Amino acid sequence: MIDTQLSVDVLQDDTRLPKVPEPGAMVIFGASGDLTARKLVPALYDLVARRRLPMEFVVVGVSRTQMSHDEFRKKLRKALDGQRPGGVSDDVWDSFCGNVFYLSGDTNKAETYEELKGFLKKLDGERGTQGNRAFYLASSPTLFPSIVEKLGEAGMNRGENGGWARLVLEKPFGRDLASARELNIDIRRYFEETQIYRIDHYLGKETVQNIMALRFSNSIFEPIWSQHYVDHVQITVAEELGVGARAGFYEEAGALRDIVQNHLMQVLCLTAMEPPVAFDAGDVREEKVKVLKAARRIPEDEVENFAVRGQYTRGWVWGEEVPGYREEKNIAPDSTTDTFVALKLFIDNWRWAGVPFYVRTGKRLPKRVTEIAIQFKPTPHAPFAGAGNLEPNVLVVRVQPEEGVSLKIGAKVPGSGFEIRSVNMDLLYGTAFLEEVPDAYQRLLLDLMLGDPTLFIRADETEGAWDVLDPVIRFWAESKEVSFYPAGSWGPEEAEELLMRDGRKWRRP
């Protein structure tokens, strides 16, 4: 029997029905930019079409560009049509875009926030958004502190009438440890950590989440996932593309800041972390932070022994001759920006003591691939005389493009002797579910509206990752040396030497 005064919707109490967030408004700062049209709005449109967002959900874009609501809507529609010609339903779009608004204003001025506050209040009344707001900072990172301060001063760091306020930040979260700390302090002056959602879209990828599924839902891997059995780990995040239109940003950032600090360190954490007690924001992020705490800091005077900085020169990628980095548009002809990074890291804890983690990332490598290779120790003794060189087992977790697990095992070659050959056993677990994988932003925006920060980055994670990389950043800032590699190769010679010194070599992914 139900209560005569219901305050919750009992009809939603069914695991088969999707969990729909509370009503709310998403305010996007920097709304006239690329991210809004290319990623955020398509993801929101899909969420609306798939019945994952409530009827009382509105989007308010804020940017300096002068535009009417309608001009903003038309611009977004055009971008969406460009992405999926003929794939947008007019009825669904019309219903969605009726809840999309635009305010032009200078984010440095307090008036903009007063106007925004009034507008959101009006929407609370007209559209039932209940005083809940998510502020998405898709603007230039240099504006983050000022926007946060102005939001705070306008009292928008708290939702209206008991509603919630959440703040979403896009990477980069600072340029180094000091600036990341400063940014975190600035933000936390107005927002609690529980209100802050730092986005690394890698964590929204199904395949990245599958690393945790593989490790923590299969008991056969966990016992061997340690220094007792693992010789070393290689993590590769390779891109075949060059710097493209991001020259200005990239010249300042480089691969270390653009990929290693966030994506690569996240993959490292998921690979090395202890099993969390529960898959929730507190437990998962706590375990990741422990990995970063245990990561050995590279002494500044030994950076050359642990880190390689590379830059691509002219070469051939997939049958096409491509220019070198210094030849690209808007790149300084004497730039020492890293387009390739290889690092040798150690996680100094009980599980991983003495096991090197070799990580690398680069642009203009032969192909786009993200993988984690766990190389196991060789067998302690080979009983088969004349069996040839027994190769150690390698477990490869491929994150993209073809998700799966492959295990290299030794098998007997049929015949009278006892010759052993390595066989790759491919477990294409990604192919077990061929459903269209939702875009990473869809997952993350839905989690944001549901108030689940598990797949977002906590302040101590960003600071921990910067702390590990800071000595390298400082050393490279001083040194002018950079190793070159031709586009279409797997990086500079020095990266090979980094492993050769340890008697190992990089895998060819």
Partner 1 sequence: MSVAQIERELARLRMNEDGSLGARASVLNLIVVTSEESAPEVARVVSELSGDYPSRAILMISDPDEGEANLEIGLSAFCGVRHGMPGGAGNQVCAEQITVHAEGTPAEHLESLAGPLLIPDLPVFLWYPDGDVPGSPECDGMAALADRLILDSGAAGDCEASLRVIANLMEHDEVPAVGDLQWAALSPWRSLVADLFAPPERAGELTKIRRVEILHDTAGECQALLLAGWLSGALGWRPEPADRAAEGRVFRFDGPSGKITVELYHDVPETALRRVRLYSEELSFQVSRYGEHTDARSTVMRGEELLGERTVHLGSSGVGVLLGEELKFLKRDVTYESALERLVEMLES
Q: Which residues bind partner 1 (CB under 8 A)?
A: 1-14, 16-18, 20, 22-23, 48-51, 54-56, 89, 91-92, 94-96, 127-128, 130, 401-402, 426, 428-436
Q: Which of 458, 269, 226 is nearest to 359 (CA)?
A: 269
Helix (H, G, I), strand (E, B) or coil at 1: coil
Strand order in the sheet with 133-137: 100-104, 57-63, 24-29, 133-137, 165-170, 196-199
The least CB distance from residue 26 to partner 1, in Å, is: 15
Pairing of strands 420-427, 404-412: antiparallel
Helix (H, G, I), strand (E, B) or coil at 332: coil
Helix (H, G, I), strand (E, B) or coil at 427: strand
Tell me the DSSP string of 364-399: S-SS-EEEEEEEEPPPS---STT---PPPPEEEEEE
By beta-carbon proximity to partner 1, the closer residue of 47 and 289 is 47
By beta-carbon proximity to partner 1, the closer residue of 390 and 409 is 409
By beta-carbon proximity to partner 1, the closer residue of 112 and 130 is 130
The least CB distance from residue 156 to partner 1, in Å, is: 21
The least CB distance from residue 405 to partner 1, in Å, is: 12
As a whole number of angstroms, the distance between CA 361 and CA 259 comes to 7
The least CB distance from residue 172 to partner 1, in Å, is: 28
Q: Among all residues, which ones are annotated catalytic?
A: 263
| Phi and psi, residue 473, nearest 5° | -60, -45
The least CB distance from residue 204 to partner 1, in Å, is: 17
The least CB distance from residue 121 to partner 1, in Å, is: 17
Specify whether the CB–CB gap between 331 and 325 falls below 8 A. Answer: yes
Give me the count of residues in the chain.
509
By beta-carbon proximity to partner 1, the closer residue of 18 and 299 is 18
By beta-carbon proximity to partner 1, the closer residue of 56 and 494 is 56
By beta-carbon proximity to partner 1, the closer residue of 91 and 481 is 91
Assign 3-class secondary structure to 130-186. CCCEEEEECCCHHHHHHHHHHHHHCCCCCCHHHCCEEEEEECCCCCCHHHHHHHHHH
Token representation of residue 275: 């099993």
